[in-house]
Structure 1
């Protein structure tokens, strides 16, 4: 068994290399100020800091936002569109935005979008999972129905909307407005 050759330790970061790392990161990934900040903290922890006093990472992230490299509101809208398009609900969108560190003013339009698309998103989820009107046969087993309801709730949909969709018989015509009014 051959041992791996030891890697040469990477030099500690300085202001220039930290700026290059940050620029490469925002060039490669859609990100937020908070995600960039945590990435840079991790890199400093891994490689160390060798350039005098510590750099203000929040100011660096703010500078990148001012230059247009980072846009938390655009990130939030993109994330909301992506999640609702895959069938996830408002609570799941909220959770994702909190994890990404998107603050309230930037997250509000994304939440509004998820709320406006709640019924269509829940129907996409039900279709993907073959639930309610998309099932091949009516569910009579209570435990199977409870699991389906739990899956829809974990996907971020409201209890009322999930129940209303699961109450639809297989192959039923779907009235989106009625579900929006009654499903909550």
Structure 2
């Protein structure tokens, strides 16, 4: 189901900038107009970006605070939480906010780039995605951790895709450390960097 932003009703609200510029001040007294302004702003954001419910709530709350600081609105704590909470619930019901879909999309994109399970889980947590939901999305995506590490090595041109001859022990340890900083286990990193290019390509080609 889709949601269209309400049109400009001629009251001047659409001329209020999202980033206050210190010019015109306005203090609307009609809560409906404030809700519609916030709704338009939230819809515009979700047309360009995906977001979890928690992250969307945080963004809209910050937007209201900016409007309030600039003198456009006068709100209390309860009003801010209520407005943003109602908008978040509305957009969830409309299908514009879907944490399970958001997590699945993020996991798939990150795995294609060679991200580890740990890095993905931390990234989803930072976006406010529930830990159980994040784990489920990672499990259902199904990419093997070695495959992800190989994809990362291919992007970074290390391990089997390094240029030149295999480095000495110190050089190999540096590559293992790079993988460890990305969240891959040390034992897995060691196994990956010791693969030949042919072996690595065979493993990626088998999926």
TM norm structure 2: 0.72
- For 2:27 and 2:106, locate their aligned partners in 1 and report how far apart those are by CA, in whole Å: 34
1:54 aligns with 2:50: no
2:46 to 15, 26, 34: 26
Runs of at least 4 residues of structure 1 off by over 6 A?
none
Identify unmatched segments of 5+ residues in structure 2: 1-20, 29-33
After superposition, residues 30-45 of structure 1 pair within 5 angstroms as 30-45=50-65
| 8 Å Cα contact 1:93/1:156 also seen in 2 | no
Q: CA offset at residue 46 of structure 1? A: 0.8
CA contact (8 A) 1:90 1:115 kept: no
- Do the aligned residues in 1 keep the contact of 2:121 with 2:135 (CA within 8 Å)? no
Q: Structure 1 residues 139 and 19, CA, compared in 2 at 3 Å: closer, same or farther?
A: same
TM-score of the superposed pair, with normalisation by structure 1 = 0.80
Residue from 101, 105, 128 that aligns with 2:155? 128
Aligned length: 170
CA drift of 1:51 comes to: 6.3
The yes-or-no answer on 1:92 pairing with 2:123 is: no
Counterpart among 132, 155, 158 of residue 185 in structure 2: 158
> Relative to 1, partners in 2 of residues 1:109 and 1:11: Cα closer, same or farther, differing over 3 Å?
farther
What is the root-mean-square deviation in Å for CA atoms of aligned residues?
2.5
Rounded to whole Å, the distance in 2 between the matches of 1:28 and 1:171 is 39
TM-aligned CA distance change 1:172 to 1:28, over 3 Å: closer
| 2: CA distance, partners of 1:100 / 1:74 | 13
Does the CA contact (< 8 Å) of 1:90 and 1:114 recur in 2? no
Asked if the contact 1:33–1:101 (Cα under 8 Å) also holds between the matched residues in 2, the reply is yes
Answer yes or no: is the 8 Å Cα contact 2:42–2:60 preserved in 1: yes
